[in-house]
Amino acid sequence: YPTEEITRTLSLNVGYGGVYLSGQWDDMDYASSPYVGISFPLGNESLSPFWGNASVSLGVFLKNFEDKNGNEITGPIVGLPYYVGLGYKFLHVFRFQAGVVATSTEKIDNIQNISTKDFDLKPFVGVSAEINLWLGFDKKK
């Protein structure tokens, strides 16, 4: 069967997100920051509009977080918090995302002079603008 060739794009997201750090509803500790990432679609939009607008996103927050006690919250390995999440495109340009952020907090024990880093996964939500990038290196015949 002949198939239709479709243009493959890489979706770049630039947005702003909030991360839940700790606490209850009336005493919640949260932080927010701008982020950038890329999205990989879960389906073809022409076959299924729902799955065509849904995606898996990976990215990094552009600055570290600070909790209400003044502790700096960074990310493991790269020094900035990074995320993985599910996203859904709306109004052809915007993407709502929800997922988890990998964070790292350094704790210093002044009595024993020991520094340890705690690794955590925290939930986040965000909204971003999406830019579709296309790179074509081969010629179509």
Question: What does the pLDDT read at residue 107?
Answer: 66
> Do 24 and 30 meet the contact criterion of CB atoms below 8 Å apart?
no
Question: What does the pLDDT read at residue 36?
Answer: 95
pLDDT, one tens digit for every residue, the chain (141 residues): 566 666 667 789 999 999 988 878 787 888 889 999 999 888 776 667 778 788 999 999 999 988 888 888 888 888 899 999 999 988 888 999 999 999 888 766 566 666 567 788 999 999 999 888 776 656 554
> Do 102 and 83 meet the contact criterion of CB atoms below 8 Å apart?
yes
User: What does the alpha-carbon distance between residue 87 and residue 127 come to, in Å, rounded to a whole number?
Assistant: 9
User: What does the alpha-carbon distance between residue 30 and residue 10 come to, in Å, rounded to a whole number?
Assistant: 31
